[in-house]
Chains A and B, each alone.
Chain A
Amino acid sequence: MSTQQDLICEQIDNIKMAKVYERPDSLLDVRMHYCPGCGHTTTHKILMEIVDELQIKNEVIGVAPVGCSVLAYDYLDIDMQQAAHGRATAVATGIKAVQPDKYVFTYQGDGDLAAIGTAETIHSANRGENFLIVFINNGIYGMTGGQMAPTTPIGEKTATSPYGRDRATMGAPIDITGLLAQLPGTFYATRQSVHDAKAVRKAKKALTKAFQYQKLNKGLCIVEIVSNCPSGWKLTPYESNQWMIEHMMSLYPPGDVKAPSKEDLQS
């Protein structure tokens, strides 16, 4: 049955197509639980692209504490430890202490890193621990249903700041990346986002550097990803990105907060 359609199909099969995109090998082909439009999925993808490109899959250990990304180990095909809420950097300190040659990273949200785990975060940086913190800052508690985070902008309405975050009683948004940049143990502190293609490329570049810097043994790297939370913010994915640019990026402007000098990069 030789129809014109079959002929076209045959022709297509014969065309040599260049592969321009594929799922990174280390990102498992499973359904993720993240909401549509959430920055976690993109961040997971570029992290695993980096692991594949640097060919460090057998040398990388990740830590996922409590938050929306607590199940990250279901999606990433690498060795991982799940940590108690806020304790990711303590767990990573333990791993790195006994596996000093491995690439270790934590993947933490703002509630985890900037509220309940502040002490562990600051002291890991102050000790100059040689691991990477990937910090997803969406200014809200996504997993527990949209409560106020330490990073929530002033005036922002959440489940626990129903009249808007009031500076007088609820404090001001905390800039953890800026705080860590003050400490001599922090080697590289940068703020990125993944809301468009250009931002994704820049974030990937920053994360790649942060992985490579671990081999220098010169201190902690933190890559903050200013992100969105369409469900928590009660916005569509598109609206949430617009809101993020307007309200989050003014508070947390993208760019390097502390970058190593040329001399710093000498091993």
Chain B
Amino acid sequence: MSEVKFMKGNEALAEAAIRAGLDAYFGYPITPQSEILEYLAIHVPKRGGVVLQAESEVAAINMIYGAAGAGARVMTTTSSPGFSLMQEGISYIASAQLPCLLANIVRGGPGLGTIQPSQGDYFQAVKGGGHGDYHLIVLTPSTVQEMADFVYLGFDLADKYLTPVMILTDGALGQGMEKVTFPDYDPAKKKVAKPWATTGKSPNRSKNVITSLYLQPEKMEQINEELQAKYTKIRANEVRWEEYLTEDAEVLFTAFGLGSRIARKTIQLAREKGIKAGLFRPKTVWPFPYQRLKELAQQVDVIMDVELNAGQMIEDVRLAVEGAVPVLFHGRMGGMIPTPEEVLEKLEANLQPAQAGISQQEVAL
């Protein structure tokens, strides 16, 4: 039975986690996401389950490792500086192939930064973060509805591929309130067998060991190859994106999460002025939808990437486009949010030179 509520994004994420059958949550307070821990602390014990406030994000992620390794459905959430602290543990979890859900409600950085929204942690989320060759599946909600939807999806993908999945979002979506519908979801029906979990060695099976240590390089290479084979499968099966008014688009905006909402509004303003603009919004930024973006690049004159950072996803956009068309950029940093008007202004200032094949840098000169 689905249910409609009006909630903060952080609360929607927390409520969805409970409805998805969360067994245990371990986390540490940090703005702008402490509501998740607070919400779960109220509601989880009543419904059965564990909520534990750890002494640090370092401890929290290792509790996740332990509980995931013992077969539980587990989640932790944090914001940028906390996510940096978790990187060591995330690398171990990826290597040990444990399913879990992580969320980074990103704030402006670097350093202690600010508590305002940002997309400055894109590189950390999709290009690594911790040590070694691994990836997380990275989901980027753009509405409070998706803050909830991606929790169910994230848990299921984590179980399917035995991998950590992360939700990459920001303070605006975490703190903002919108209508959200919680779908029918029966965790019991989604429950998968975890014969590898450390639950105590029964006489009818060999011991289970959760580890990421392989001292023989031949074995370590083999483990790496297994991981890469899994990532190849994920790239083939789990790429997700959304398009808006791309059919006749001559100008294509690329943006994710909060940035995509600004781009949508800009597109409406642009179309009022007769500029045929459309949006390509990756929902998964790892795996990134390179192929579809490459196809769209053949159709449009120019691409404009909009982010709340100095330009991070734009590197993946350019990889997809392979120089077929100019790629413009507009971004704000440090917790400042670009307005549709300033994005449009930047577009208009650069549109004709870009269509003529002159780069943004040359225009600036």
Chain B proximity mask over A69-89: 1 for CB below 8 Å, otherwise 0: 011010011111111100100
Which residues from A are CB-within-8-Å of B64?
94
Q: Establish whether residues A81 and B69, one from each chain, have CB atoms under 8 Å apart when the complex forms.
A: yes
In the complex, which of the residues B50, B62, B88 contacts A91, with contact meaning CB atoms closer than 8 Å?
B62
A3 interfacial contact with B, CB 8 Å: no
Beta-carbon contact of B59 and A61 below 8 Å = no
Most chain B CB inside 10 Å of its own CB: which residue of A83, A92, A95, A120: A95
- Whether A79 contacts B198 by the Cβ 8 Å rule is yes
Quick one: CB contact mask for A47-71 with B, threshold 8 Å, 1 for yes? 0000000000111110100000011
Interface string of A240-266 (1 = CB under 8 A from B): 000000000000000000000000000
Q: How far is the CA of A202 from the CA of B340 in the complex (A)?
A: 74
**Interface-lining segment among B208-216, B266-274, B309-317:** B208-216
Q: Is A179 an interface residue (CB 8 A)?
A: no
Given contacts A57-B201, A93-B63, are A70 and B213 in contact (CB under 8 A)? Answer: yes
CB of A98 within 8 Å of the partner chain:
yes
Give the residue name and chain of the B residue nearest to A94 (CB): B66
Number of interface residues of B (CB under 8 A): 40
8 Å CB interface, B1-43 against A: 23-24, 26
Annotate B192-211 by CB proximity to A: 1 below 8 A, 0 otherwise. Answer: 00000011111100011111
User: Is A32 at the interface (CB under 8 A from chain B)?
Assistant: no
A99 touches B209 (CB 8 A): no
B56 touches A98 (CB 8 A): no
Which residues of A are found within 8 Å of B55, using beta-carbon distances?
119-120, 123
Kindly state the interface size class of chain A when it binds its partner. Answer: 20 to 34
Q: Collect the chain A residues with CB atoms within 8 Å of residue B208's CB.
A: 79-80
Q: Mark B50-64, 1 if CB is under 8 A from A, else 0.
A: 101011101110111
B67 & A95 in contact (Cβ 8 Å cutoff): yes
Taking a contact as CB atoms closer than 8 A, the residue among B50, B56, B59, B211 that contacts A82 in the complex is B211
When distances are taken between beta carbons in the complex, the residues of chain A under 8 Å from B89 are 84, 87
- Among A79, A93, A95, the residue within 8 A (CB) of B209 is A79
CB contacts (< 8 Å) of A102 on chain B: these are 199-200
Residues of A contacting B231 with CB < 8 Å? none
In the complex with contacts A82-B210, A120-B55, A91-B65 CB distance below 8 A: yes
Question: A71, A73, A79, A99: which has the most chain B beta carbons within 10 Å?
Answer: A79
- Are the CB atoms of A97 and B52 closer together than 8 Å? yes
Q: A94-B65, A97-B67 are in contact. Are A81 and B92 (CB under 8 A)?
A: no
Complex CA gap A95/B67 in Å reads 5
Would you give the shortest CB distance from B37 to chain A, in whole angstroms? 15
B62/A84 in contact, CB under 8 A: yes
Bound complex: CA of A229 vs CA of B58, how far in Å?
30
Most buried by A among B65, B74, B202, B203: B65
B304 at the interface (CB under 8 A from A): no
- A200 within 8 Å of B by Cβ? no
Indicate if the CB atoms of A92 and B92 lie closer than 8 Å: no
Total residue contacts A-B, CB cutoff 8 A:
131
B187 interface hit (Cβ, 8 Å) = no
| Complex Cα gap A59–B71 (Å) | 14
Type the 1/0 row for B216-244, where 1 means its CB is closer than 8 Å to any CB of A.
00000000000000000000000000000
Residues of A near B52 (CB, < 8 A) are 93, 97
Question: A61 and B198 in contact (CB under 8 A), knowing A84-B88, A98-B50, A120-B55?
Answer: yes
A residues in contact with B200, CB < 8 Å:
57-61, 79, 99, 102
Please name the residue on chain B nearest to A33 by beta carbon: B215
Q: Is A90 an interface residue (CB 8 A)?
A: yes
Residues of B within 8 A of A80 (CB): 198, 207-210
**A70 to B92 Cα, complex, angstroms:** 14
Interface centre among B50, B69, B71, B212, by most A CB within 10 Å?
A: B69
Within 8 A of A (CB), among B60-83: 60, 62-72, 74
CB within 8 A of B62: which of A61, A83, A97, A98?
A: A83
Find the B residue at minimum CB distance from A71. B213
Q: How far is the CA of A80 from the CA of B62 in the complex (A)?
A: 15
**Closest chain B residue, CB of each to CB of A87:** B62
Q: Please state if B198 and A98 are interface contacts (CB–CB under 8 Å).
A: no
Q: Across the interface, which residues of B come within 8 angstroms of A60, CB to CB?
A: 200-201
B23, B58, B71: the one within 8 Å of A87 (CB) = B58
Q: Which residue of A lies closest to B212 (CB)?
A: A82
Given the interface contacts A97-B24, A98-B24, A119-B55, does A81 sit within 8 Å of B67 by beta carbon? no
**What residues of B have a CB within 8 angstroms of the CB of A87 in the complex?**
58-59, 62, 65, 89
- Shortest C-beta distance, A158 to chain B (Å), equals 24
Partner of B207, one of A77, A84, A90, A97: A77
Residues of A within 8 A of B (CB): 57-61, 63, 70-71, 73, 76-84, 87, 90-95, 97-99, 102, 119-120, 123
Closest 5 CB pairs of A and B: A94-B66, A90-B62, A94-B67, A91-B66, A94-B63
Q: List 30 A-B contacts (CB under 8 A).
A: A58-B200, A58-B201, A58-B202, A77-B201, A77-B207, A79-B200, A79-B201, A80-B198, A80-B207, A80-B208, A81-B66, A82-B209, A82-B213, A87-B62, A90-B65, A92-B66, A93-B26, A93-B63, A94-B68, A94-B70, A95-B66, A95-B67, A95-B70, A95-B198, A97-B26, A98-B23, A98-B72, A102-B200, A119-B55, A120-B59
Residues of B within 8 A of A (CB): 23-24, 26, 50, 52, 54-56, 58-60, 62-72, 74, 88-89, 92, 96, 198-203, 207-213
Given A77-B207, A84-B88, 19 more pairs with CB closer than 8 A:
A57-B200, A58-B203, A61-B199, A79-B198, A79-B199, A79-B208, A81-B198, A81-B209, A81-B210, A87-B89, A90-B58, A90-B65, A90-B66, A91-B66, A93-B66, A94-B24, A97-B50, A120-B58, A123-B54
